[in-house]
Amino acid sequence: MKTPSLSTRPPGFTYKGSSLFVEKISADTLTERFGTPLYVYSTAALRERYAIFDRAFKRVPHSVCYSVKANSNLSILRMLAKMGSGFDVVSGGELERVLTVDRKAAKKVVFSGVGKQAPEMDAAIHAGILLFNIESESELELLAERSAKLRKKTRIAFRVNPDVPAETHPYISTGLREHKFGVPITDAPLLYAQAASHKWLEPVGVSVHIGSQITDVAPFGATMERVANLVRNLRAQGHDIRLVDAGGGLGITYRDGASDLKTFEHSVRKYSGALLPPLKNLGVQLLLEPGRSIVGPAGALLTRVLYCKQNGRKTFLIVDAAMNDLIRPSLYGAHHEIVPAKIEKGASMTVDIVGPVCETGDFFARDRELPALSEGGTLAILDAGAYGMALASNYNTRPKAAEVLVDGSKAKLIRRRETYKDLLAAER
């Protein structure tokens, strides 16, 4: 049978004959064994993507601090920690995950976020993390108080808002003056002076993060120009600035037909090519916080077609995954390539792929052309490794999906499917 040109994500997700494989296991084998909806991740894809990212910065002292919020499964964090990754956390809960995986990883943790609370600060100070990214004057004062109380020196950077527009969805653009993130870059000199006046705080870095799913690298370069100027100013004021945290945000090609590692390597090279020139001769250590670009294409959501139904001129495929499992289409109008686990004979069809949740916004694709597919067949929603499970909820009292990590011909359950008992456990 001739394979139609369907999207694939080698080395994780490719066709062998008419069957979709996750590395060396067919998607159908996985769903038979673990059920649906099922998140599946490819070890090879994760490893390769991390390595490609890391390699693109090998010319400069740097640390990759994987952004935990993109996918926070312990097994994935453990794998990245073993490869030498540090972590960017945005809550006490995420810090707890990292410490659970590897206590020693604390020294490679950066803590970001606009609403850190005292107990979260205490846990991070106690663990001895690498860097706090401070986002307001009030937060600075609270952190100074907590560090004094614990009598521990705390390394800090301010997350500055460079006022650089980035082409992305407005919900995930963060680098403009009117956004809640960071401090205005023009206020930075005063804030660093204020920080330096606190005995237990050490201002050692400058941080930025301008948004997510940014595919044009020019805004990253423009941001680094501004950061480099600030570093020079701060040094002239006597601050020992040794770290520049460039944040995350490198986008992936959700629409590509066959998005392979070469494509990724090319895009990361362009990214490092934009970040590095402005930092030349500064002699700083560069911190990078990629999330999506590492895990996004390494994961897919497998879902079974429950019903095919015709309403007037429209055909709906009702699948067993829903917006509570993967909210990106509903929340951002995001596009995901969707491919069948098994290519069947027959005419292609144009369908809306929707979930069982009681909201019209519960859809994965609208007016999408798919190869022939029968009820009971399985679909793979590609590029679901980032902001998929991490954003899952129990809406409609739906248990969260199971997660499986595939390594060659081995599949490991890394999060069991939730039960109704789990769902009700915290309530009375």
Chain length of the chain: 428
Candidate list 46, 70, 210, 231; residue touching ligand PLP; CB under 6 A? 70
CA–CA dist 237, 369 (Å, integer): 60
Nearer to ligand PLP, 251 or 355 (CB): 251
Is 209 a binding residue for ligand PLP by CB under 6 A? The answer is yes
3 state DSSP class of 150: helix
Amino acid residing at 304:
R
Candidate list 85, 112, 267, 303; residue touching ligand PLP; CB under 6 A? 112
Is 88 a binding residue for ligand PLP by CB under 6 A? The answer is yes
Nearer to ligand PLP, 15 or 220 (CB): 220
Q: Long-range contacts of range 305-312, CB-CB < 8 Å, 24 or more positions apart? A: 305/373, 305/374, 305/375, 305/376, 305/377, 305/378, 305/379, 306/356, 306/375, 307/375, 308/351, 308/373, 308/374, 308/375
DSSP letter for each residue of 156-180: EEEEEE-----SS-GGGB--STTSS
Neighbours of 194 (CB within 10 A): 15
Nearer to ligand PLP, 155 or 292 (CB): 292
The nearest distance, CB 119 to ligand PLP, in angstroms, is 20
Is 63 a binding residue for ligand PLP by CB under 6 A? The answer is no
Total residues at interface with ligand PLP (CB under 6 A):
18
Of 1, 236, 347, 358, the catalytic one is 358
Is 162 a binding residue for ligand PLP by CB under 6 A? The answer is no
Is 297 a binding residue for ligand PLP by CB under 6 A? The answer is no
* Cβ–Cβ under 8 Å, residues 84 and 60: no
Is 69 a binding residue for ligand PLP by CB under 6 A? The answer is yes
Is 109 a binding residue for ligand PLP by CB under 6 A? The answer is no
Contacts of 216 (CB under 8 A, 6+ apart): 166, 167
Is 292 a binding residue for ligand PLP by CB under 6 A? The answer is yes
Query: Exposed, middle or buried: residue 420 (CB in 10 Å: 0-12, 13-18, 19+)?
Result: exposed
Nearer to ligand PLP, 296 or 340 (CB): 296
Candidate list 43, 72, 91, 212; residue touching ligand PLP; CB under 6 A? 212
The residue ranges of DSSP E strands in 177-335, in sequence order, are 183-184, 201-207, 243-245, 285-288, 299-311, 314-319
Known catalytic membership, residue 358: yes
- 227-256 residues near ligand PLP, rule: CB under 6 A: 247-250
* Cβ–Cβ under 8 Å, residues 161 and 210: no
Span interacting with ligand PLP, options 62-70, 277-285, 334-342, 370-378, rule CB under 6 A: 62-70
Nearer to ligand PLP, 54 or 289 (CB): 289
Candidate list 290, 297, 377, 385; residue touching ligand PLP; CB under 6 A? 290
Contacts of 360 (CB under 8 A, 6+ apart): none
Nearer to ligand PLP, 10 or 290 (CB): 290
Cα–Cα distances in angstroms (integers) from residue 329 to residues 77, 254, 332, 341, 388, in the given order: 25, 12, 6, 21, 10
Span interacting with ligand PLP, options 25-33, 66-74, 317-325, 408-416, rule CB under 6 A: 66-74
Q: Which residues of the shown chain bind ligand PLP in the complex (CB under 6 A)?
A: 67, 69-70, 88, 90, 112, 209, 212, 247-250, 289-293, 386
Would you please indicate which residues are annotated as catalytic (active-site) residues? Answer: 358
